[in-house]
């Protein structure tokens, strides 16, 4: 095929997919496609040819665009319709099609419920520039879209450890009316907000153990640079997050990429800026998604880690979905005082709750991220192992989850009726993972200990001396904490 933009020496461009293959199946509707343009150089294609066009023939009006990095790589979020989707990727004279399947789980047993929490004397509008629509309906649209992106994020993070793509199922956002006034909510800290709203949610919603809850607070307000009624906290079965940056979130799929790349500066006197120094709408959206992943991770039984989405790296979610040819250097975040992994009922009675707080560190770390050749959004190995077996990430048969894991501290023994996949020890002070043992179920051997069956684990003496929290997970997602 002849192309006027190329000569015989250059070679014709070709499109190759890096993370998907024909007829790959997904049980969530927004998927990430990564690929590369062979025979591409930035110099040759700088004249208006720096992006790939994507059409999903199963969705009317579906036309997406993905910027190409200087090395020819590209990445793009693609929306799938139920069933087989025919996708066409086009660059210059090259076209490549692929079929991807969206097959949603049938009758999932374990679900995440999404709630938009509205105070008793409040109409539920969220704070945004004066020309924006801030209704409850608009808020729920934005929240549902964000959760669909979080589904994709978790699945992609699992694949980095060699696991199949897995994610959770959720029930679409609905208003939840609280008994407290908006004035009260804006006087409370996130600990008080969580205590009150968690009690309300667990009392009014289903008491079945197959539900977890993620609530967005309509009460969040930025006034003269001061943020009120905000929370970013996940404990037990309930996670809360403030609506302060909802103005920067996309409302529909077509605006996702634009929102990630939105360089509009935030008026910090009128709007909340949580972007780790980017001070842009796009930075706020990326950080919000990272924070949501972090807090939902806690209610999916994850503790804190030094790095990754459960630690410091919550601000760079945009790099998962978009190309950054000129990434900026930003300070690293630090997580401290982890939200506890104990049951919510136990925590409701504790006054001195351990919280998740995020703060910026000294500028000496500004070059930290640019030294790492990664998109900077990832799960550490122990977190990935836990989620790979987690009940919310799998479709187990109704009685397949029955198991018994017992811990005898005096005898220094953990016994399980099903093979263990992970034993983890976390600091009681901050919930940080201090040590973990992963089991290969096929060989029944943990990576850090020899001659130990995956049905029986000997607790190291130094762990008992340190008085760590102990978490054990079996292959069917049953979790014991002691």
How is the chain split into domains, by residue range?
Answer: 14-102, 111-386, 396-481
pLDDT at residue number 350? 39
Q: Could you give the 3-state DSSP secondary structure of residue 400?
A: coil
Among candidate residues 102, 127, 137, 468, the one with its CA nearest the CA of residue 271: 127
Reference 390, options 418, 419, 346, 421; nearest CA is: 421
Distance, CA of 99 to CA of 40 (rounded, Å):
24
pLDDT at 48: 57
pLDDT given at position 310: 96
Q: Which option is the CATH number for 14-102: 2.60.40.10, 3.90.1280.10, 1.50.10.10, 3.40.30.20?
A: 2.60.40.10
Q: Which residues make beta-bridge pairs with 406? A: 415
Q: What are residue 79's phi and psi, to 5 degrees? A: -90, 135
Q: Let me know: does 200 contact 192? Beta carbons within 8 Å.
A: no
Name the 3-class secondary structure at 185: helix
Confidence at residue 97, expressed as pLDDT on a 0 to 100 scale: 96
Closest of 249, 300, 246, 293 to residue 271, by C-alpha: 246
Cα–Cα distance between 407 and 405 in angstroms, integer?
Answer: 7
What pLDDT score was predicted for residue 365?
A: 42
Q: How far is CA 129 from CA 150, 226, 278, 353, in A?
A: 25, 17, 19, 35
Tokens of 69: 């990095």
The pairing of strands 170-177 and 111-118 is parallel
DSSP 8-state secondary structure symbol assigned to residue 59: S
SS3 content of the chain, % helix, strand, coil (to 5): 20, 30, 50
Which residues does 274 contact at the CB level (< 8 Å), separation at least 6?
244, 245, 284, 287, 288, 291
Q: If we measure between CA atoms, which residue out of 252, 175, 191, 188 comes closest to residue 220?
A: 188
pTM over the 0.85 mark: yes
Q: Which residue has the tokens 């930075």?
A: 283
Residues of the chain with pLDDT under 70: 1-10, 42-48, 206-208, 325-374, 398-402, 441-453
The pLDDT assigned to 8 comes to 52
pLDDT of residue 1: 45
What six digits make up the tokens of 188?
């409370």
Residue 243 near residue 216, CB atoms below 8 Å: yes
- Count how many Cα atoms sit within 13 Å of the Cα of residue 297 in the half-sphere of its side chain: 34
Which helix or strand (DSSP H or E) is residue 213 part of? strand 211-217
């Amino acid at each position: 095929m002849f192309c006027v933009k190329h000569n015989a020496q250059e070679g014709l461009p070709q499109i190759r997919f890096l993370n998907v293959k024909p007829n790959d199946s997904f049980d969530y509707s927004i998927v990430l496609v990564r690929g590369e343009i062979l025979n591409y150089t930035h110099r040759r294609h700088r004249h208006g040819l720096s992006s790939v066009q994507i059409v999903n023939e199963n969705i009317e009006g579906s036309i997406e665009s993905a910027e190409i990095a200087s090395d020819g790589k590209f990445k793009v979020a693609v929306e799938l319709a139920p069933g087989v989707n025919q996708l066409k990727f086009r660059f210059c004279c090259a076209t490549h099609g692929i079929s991807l399947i969206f097959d949603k789980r049938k009758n999932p047993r374990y679900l995440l419920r999404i709630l938009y929490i509205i105070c008793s004397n409040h109409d539920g509008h969220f704070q945004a520039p004066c020309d924006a629509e801030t209704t409850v309906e608009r808020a729920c649209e934005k929240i549902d879209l964000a959760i669909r992106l979080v589904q994709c994020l978790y699945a992609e993070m699992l694949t980095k450890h060699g696991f199949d793509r897995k994610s959770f199922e959720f029930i679409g956002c609905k208003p939840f009316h609280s008994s407290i006034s908006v004035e009260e909510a804006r006087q409370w800290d996130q600990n008080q907000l969580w205590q009150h709203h968690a009690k309300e949610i667990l009392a009014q919603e289903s008491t079945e153990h197959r539900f977890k809850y993620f609530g967005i607070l309509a009460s969040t307000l930025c006034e003269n640079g001061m943020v009120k009624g905000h929370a970013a906290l996940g404990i037990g079965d309930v996670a809360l997050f403030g609506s302060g940056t909802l103005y920067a979130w996309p409302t529909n799929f077509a605006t996702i990429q634009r929102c990630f790349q939105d360089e509009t500066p935030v008026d910090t006197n009128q709007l909340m800026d949580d972007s780790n120094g980017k001070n842009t709408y796009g930075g706020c959206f990326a950080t919000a998604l990272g924070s949501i992943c972090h807090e939902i991770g806690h209610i999916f039984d994850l503790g804190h880690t030094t790095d990754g989405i459960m630690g410091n790296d919550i601000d760079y979610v945009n790099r998962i979905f978009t190309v950054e040819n000129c990434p900026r250097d930003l300070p690293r975040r630090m997580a401290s005082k982890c939200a506890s992994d104990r049951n919510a009922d136990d925590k409701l009675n504790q006054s001195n709750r351990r919280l998740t707080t995020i703060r910026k560190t000294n500028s000496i770390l500004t070059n930290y991220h640019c030294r790492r050749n990664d998109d900077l959004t990832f799960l550490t190995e122990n977190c990935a192992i836990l989620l790979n077996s987690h009940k919310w990430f799998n479709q187990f048969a109704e009685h397949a989850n029955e198991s018994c894991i017992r811990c005898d501290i005096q005898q220094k023994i953990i016994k399980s009726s099903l093979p263990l996949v992970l034993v983890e020890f976390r600091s009681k002070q901050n919930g940080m993972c201090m040590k973990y043992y992963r089991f290969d179920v096929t060989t029944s051997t943990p990576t850090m200990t020899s001659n130990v069956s995956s049905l029986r684990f000997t607790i190291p003496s130094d762990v008992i001396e340190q008085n760590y929290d102990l978490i054990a997970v079996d292959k069917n997602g049953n979790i014991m904490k002691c």
